[in-house]
Amino acid sequence: MINVTEPFLPPKEEYISFVNEIWNRNWLTNNGPLVNELELQLKDYLNLDHLLFVTNGTIALQLGIKALGLQGEIITTPFSYVATTSSIVWENCKPVFVDIDKDTLNLDPFLIENAITENTSAILATHVYGNPCDVEAIEAISRKHNLKVIYDGAHSFGSEYNKKSIFEWGDISTCSFHATKLFHTIEGGSVITKDPAVLKKLSFLRNFGHNGPTIFEGVGINGKNSEFHAAMGLTNIKYIDQILQKRKVDSEYYDHLLLEKLKVRRPKITEGTTVYNHSYYPIIFESEELLLRAVDELEKNRITPRRYFYPSLTELNYVEKRETPITDDISKRVLCLPLYYSITKAEIDMIVRFILRSQKYF
């Protein structure tokens, strides 16, 4: 069985050494020393001023919306994981979908202004597959219309725009550290801001609103994470550079085998991107029929690709449907192939052979 992704696991003894420390201290959660150390190491690695380690990437989005006091309408992308939209609805705001750019697959900034109304409070865009949005265009629009910007950077660990972490952009950025991500803490995520006042508010929101044992700074939730999760992060961060390099090499190997023989295309990496993290390996077929033939052939041979992201989020039964023809089209034709640290060239060779066979290329 080859799945679309597989968690990276470090040497067991390295993780166990952290677990032994936790056992000796008997401090399992509630902002323990490993959580603090992980936050410091992540800020250092990503060259960020502020970062909070939280329960997961979805909670990070919800905290971001709450911390910025957003209400009314939030302009967002229909081409993302469901959490991007559900977080907006969960926080009693209304998602307003704007179509994507056909090349980068990110929110099309040239369509945003037509969707702005007197009820619009923010833009929430996803760096799809770790590919940076057109952050400068979105920033210009947000300033012109006095809107907040949140970036769902669930896929974006390690990506850089103009030699800076992509998390530097927006009023708030978030990331997922789920087990399937290239950097993971088993479950987890982060919320990032450059504004110290927003950081302070986020820190209260993350911990029930606590400002000391008996004082509460408004309503909060339990968005904390544990020492065991932080231990996995501290173990994994030592390997992040080689993980990123391996994904780059494997993606280029896929390109070499596929792009000259198969009528598919890859998403265009946004101009100005100085580091792309190869978070996924998506290909766009000429038709849904060709995609389904590839999926059928792969699954018959115990290989599981993934239709990230299908269907369009406009199909959710709790949102207002809008016309997004590019998303509707792309979502039917895009397929993510298996890509993870331990995948071998022999396995990639096999995957490609089955895809070519499905398209009647021999």
> Topology of 12-98+106-238 in CATH?
Aspartate Aminotransferase; domain 2 (3.40.640)
Write out the two tokens for 297.
Answer: 């052939």
From residue 12, alpha-carbon distances to 16, 18, 95, 183 in Å are 6, 10, 43, 16
From 119, 63, 117, select the one nearest 91 (Cα to Cα): 63
**Alpha carbon distance 349, 258 (integer Å):** 10
- The CATH homologous superfamily for domain 240-358 is Aspartate Aminotransferase, domain 1 (3.90.1150.10)
Q: Which residue has the tokens 């999926």?
A: 295
**Alpha carbon distance 57, 54 (integer Å):** 8
The 3-state DSSP class for residue 354 equals helix
CA angle 41, 136, 335 (to 5 degrees): 75
Please state the separation of Cα 233 from the chain's center in Å: 17
Q: Which residues in the chain land under pLDDT 70?
A: 361-362
Q: Which residue has the tokens 């792009």?
A: 259
pTM: 0.97
**Do the Cβ atoms of 355 and 259 come closer than 8 Å?**
no
Name beta bridge partners: 191. 52, 174
pLDDT at 361: 52
From 133, 171, 135, 150, select the one nearest 267 (Cα to Cα): 133
Packed helices 288-300 and 325-333: angle between N→C axes, nearest 10 degrees:
30
Write out the two tokens for 223.
Answer: 């968005």
From 299, 286, 296, 283, select the one nearest 251 (Cα to Cα): 283
- Extents of the domains making up the chain: 12-98+106-238, 240-358
> Based on C-alpha coordinates, what's the Rg of the chain?
21
Read off the pLDDT of residues 167-219 as tens digits, 9 standing for 90 and up. 999 999 999 999 999 999 999 999 999 999 999 999 999 999 888 888 888 89
CB-count exposure of residue 282 (10 Å: 0-12, 13-18, 19+)? buried
